[in-house]
Amino acid sequence: MLVDMHVHTAPCSPCSFIDPEMMLEWAERMGLDALCVTEHDEICGAQQAWELGRKRGFRVFRGVEVYTEMGDMLVFGWLKDAPGWKVPYRELLEEVHSSGGIVIPAHPFRGQGGLEEMLGGEGMRELLSTCDALEVINGGTSPDHNRVAAEAARRFGLPGVGGSDAHHLAQLGRALTEFEREIESEEDLMREIRAGRCRAIYMKDAPRLRRPSAGWSI
Q: What per-residue confidence (pLDDT) applies to 21?
A: 96
Q: What per-residue confidence (pLDDT) applies to 46?
A: 97
Instruction: With respect to residue 72, please indicate whether it lies within any of the assigned structural domains.
Output: yes
Which residues on adjacent β-strands are paired with residue 45? none
- Torsions phi, psi for 203 (to 5 deg): -55, -40
Instruction: With respect to residue 216, please indicate whether it lies within any of the assigned structural domains.
Output: no
Q: Which of 97, 181, 167 is nearest to 139 (CA)?
A: 167
Instruction: With respect to residue 48, please indicate whether it lies within any of the assigned structural domains.
Output: yes
Q: What per-residue confidence (pLDDT) applies to 214?
A: 54
Instruction: With respect to residue 74, please indicate whether it lies within any of the assigned structural domains.
Output: yes
Tally of domains within the chain: 1
Domain containing 198 equals 2-205
Instruction: With respect to residue 218, please indicate whether it lies within any of the assigned structural domains.
Output: no
For position 112, which CATH number holds? Answer: 3.20.20.140
Q: Which of 67, 55, 62, 68 is nearest to 6 (CA)?
A: 62
Low-confidence ranges of the chain (pLDDT < 50): none
Instruction: With respect to residue 57, please indicate whether it lies within any of the assigned structural domains.
Output: yes
Q: What per-residue confidence (pLDDT) applies to 118?
A: 78
CB 123 within 8 A of CB 71: no
Alpha-carbon gap, residue 61 to 179, rounded angstroms: 14
Q: What are the residue ranges of helices labelled H in the chain?
A: 20-30, 44-56, 89-98, 114-128, 143-156, 186-195
